[in-house]
Amino acid sequence: MQPAFNIEPYKQILTKYWGFASFKPLQEEIIKSVAGGRDTLGLMPTGGGKSLTFQVPALAHEGICLVITPLIALMKDQISRLNSLEIKSIAIHSGMSGEEIDIALENAIYGDYKFLYVSPERISTRMFQGKAGRLNLSLVAIDEAHCISQWGYDFRPSYLKIASLRDHISAKVPFIALTASATPQVIEDIMLKLAFREKNVLRTSFDRKNISYLVRKVEDKSAYLIKTLLKAKGSGIVYVRSRKRCKEVAELLVSNGISADFYHAGLTDELRDKKQASWTIGETRVIVSTNAFGMGIDKSEVRFVIHWDIPDSIENYFQESGRAGRDNKPAFAVLLYSPADKSRLTDTIRKKFPPVEKIKDTYEALCNFLQVPLGSGKDNVFDFNMSDFVSKFRLPVIETFNSLQFLQREGYVEITEEINNPSRVHFIVSRDDLYKFQVANESFDGFIKLLLRSYTGMFSEFVPINEETLSRKSAASRNTIYQYLMKLSSYKIIRYIPGKKTALVIFTEERLERKALLISPDNYLHVKEKYEVRLNRMIEYADSDNRCRSVTLLDYFGEESDRCGICDVCRDRNELDLSKYEFDLILEEIKTILADKNPDAEELVKLIGHSEDKVIKVLRWLLDHDKILKDDEMKLFWKS
């Protein structure tokens, strides 16, 4: 018989490491399921607290937890948070050299690490698969699990290789998959593609009761924004599509006396950190941003999120608007929608799906740019600078970007976000040999001592260093420090990897001949269709004026709900001065009557046992919202 599950040890860990007194909704249930050794899919909106559902059980159990997550920046962020809590954690991603990855894996196998974070494209490499069996795994956690589904909005083929891990590891190790984006189709797909041993989904409601969803059909978005922000209280986000618009809109707000700043991925890390920090502490009231703003936002009192442009899926919209009101106090999510937006969106589709021949051109140009010969390149990692690439081959930027996206979705290459890799140093001689070297080469003695004083762990692994800091500490120029490092490296005392900031391209397959590059028309259309379906659901959301916004959003995620009473559609109805209950009751009666006869308005009112006044209000609302039609003889019909 199974002993009863005891949550206490898990609670103690929660308090000891994170200082939280209790679990958030569903965290306990997910932990219980995982602790029972069951494959588990956990669904919670962003900010629901998904990380702790694998971090807490991993700490309670013996062994190491393998975490798969797609964004390297987020991975680094989590690792440094864990390490600052004195929980030993290590990462493997494509920004690391083969040697570094090898050392990290050995450490994960023999060291007492609790977490090994791995980016998905590393899972299928021979090195990883070869060693995975030797990891003493407690748990495999798959974050952003929707990336495994072609039905999802962020499909990454490398996620499909995760299930093959099961061939190399003990069958006892449970998989925990987590996502904030879960249409019914994606949910099924995740469990299927991860080869869940049994179906097991735990979900919290995605209902954000304190958010008022509003769609504003306005021609003049600027005027609307200024008017609204002058009236609104508190701090918020305005999302716009382009970097250029970010700056323009922020300037517009500032010139109207509203505290605002802009943010996008084209700014330096320092500047972005500064802008984000200033907004977080409330110095800047409004941040105008592209969708680059979001990662790692930890601000609960966001009063409004306004979308200047319509996002291309409900998933994106829900995620971005969901940054409002984490403190559970009233907040607004506003979508600005003008008639011109629809045709612009159709245009987006055309750009997003370049002709197949263009995609193949891009592939060949990329291989030539990176000098990958035919038949080779598999698992190779290259630094990649998009603007060098397009300027060298005189390629159109957007079409090229989208062609690369397509090649990624088809599993030929993987392209990472731009990542910031610090310089790293690893001593490759023993302490004794180092000592002998110091004695024989006095001129290096001071520098080596400085290194050893400043950093620890360099004998067993690559350790991030900062040339700037060393230069300050030693009053030597940055270049002198660099020269020392290069020389020690050439004497084979250390391995030195200078830092850099770059995006990477990883070849998941060897370079193929043009004709072997399979982008079948069927598949191409299929991918395009799925994109269009997602886009159309978003347009429906914006276009509709008779369905509760919350109901529409939740329905998309497979959740049934009552109308919220606070979105623009519900407010319209509220103005009728009827309770929601009365409104629905009368609506149902009208619907029933119109199902078998077609009276005119006057006859209809008589048929219903409510005050005439109220019936007329509901009837007028239904006519205004095209739920009921009148024919030439003024007879009423229920539409659809």
| 40-43 and 201-203 strand pairing | parallel
Piece of the chain touching Mg ion by CB under 5 A; list 46-54, 186-194, 442-450, 527-535: 46-54
* 323 is an interface residue for Mg ion by CB under 5 A: no
49 binds, among ligand ADP, Mg ion, none (CB under 5 to 8 A by kind): ligand ADP
Q: Which is nearer to ligand ADP, 23 or 412 (CB)?
A: 23
CB closer to Mg ion out of 50 and 285: 50
Task: Spell out the residues 6+ positions from residue 423 whose beta carbon is closer than 8 angstroms to its own.
Answer: 464, 465, 466, 467, 485, 496, 497, 498, 499
Query: How many helices and strands in the chain, by DSSP H and E?
Result: 26, 22
**Nearest distance from C-beta of residue 350 to ligand ADP, angstroms:** 34
Q: How far is the CB of 297 from Mg ion (least distance, A)?
A: 12
Interface with ligand ADP (CB under 6 A): 20, 23-24, 27, 44, 46-52, 298
Q: Of 298 and 560, which has the nearer Cβ to ligand ADP?
A: 298
Q: How many residues bind Mg ion (CB under 5 A)?
A: 1
Burial 261-280 (b: 16+ CB within 10 A, else e): bbbbeebeeeebeebbeebe
CB of 121 to ligand ADP, least distance (A): 21
Burial of 460 (0-12, 13-18, 19+ CB in 10 A): middle
Residue of 50, 537, 573, 614 interacting with Mg ion (CB under 5 A) = 50
3-state secondary structure (DSSP) of residue 501: strand
The nearer residue to ligand ADP, 77 or 600, going by C-beta atoms, is 77
Residue 334: CB minimum distance to ligand ADP, A: 22
User: Cβ of 151: how many Cβ atoms within 10 Å?
Assistant: 18
What's the N-to-C CA distance of the chain in angstroms? 56
Contacted entry of Mg ion, ligand ADP, none for residue 284, CB cut-off 5 to 8 Å set by kind: none
Q: How far is the CB of 101 from Mg ion (least distance, A)?
A: 24
Question: What burial class does residue 336 get, using C-beta atoms within 10 Å of its C-beta: 0-12 exposed, 13-18 middle, 19+ buried?
Answer: buried
Q: Where are the alpha helices (DSSP H) in 48-157?
A: 51-60, 72-84, 98-110, 120-123, 126-132
Interaction of residue 573 with Mg ion, rule CB under 5 A: no
| Stretch of residues binding Mg ion (CB under 5 A), selected from 50-58, 254-262, 409-417, 612-620 | 50-58
Q: Is 307 in the site for Mg ion (CB under 5 A)?
A: no
The least CB distance from residue 320 to ligand ADP, in Å, is 13
Rg (CA), the chain: 29
Q: Binds 23, which of Mg ion, ligand ADP, none (CB < 5 to 8 A, cut-off by type)?
A: ligand ADP
Q: Which of 131, 84, 129 is nearest to 103 (CA)?
A: 131
Closest listed residue to residue 49, CA positions, set 180, 145, 152: 180
- The least CB distance from residue 258 to ligand ADP, in Å, is 28
What is the CB-side half-sphere exposure of residue 616 using CA atoms within 13 A? Answer: 4
Query: Which of residues 67 and 608 has its CB atom nearest to ligand ADP in the complex?
Result: 67
As a residue count, the chain comes to 640
* Shortest distance, position 82 Cβ to ligand ADP, whole Å: 12
Contact between 156 and Mg ion (CB under 5 A)? no
Tell how strand 413-415 and strand 500-507 pair up. antiparallel
Q: Which does 596 bind (CB under 5 to 8 A by kind): ligand ADP, Mg ion, none?
A: none
Site membership for Mg ion, residue 424 (CB under 5 A)? no
Binding site for Mg ion (CB under 5 A): 50
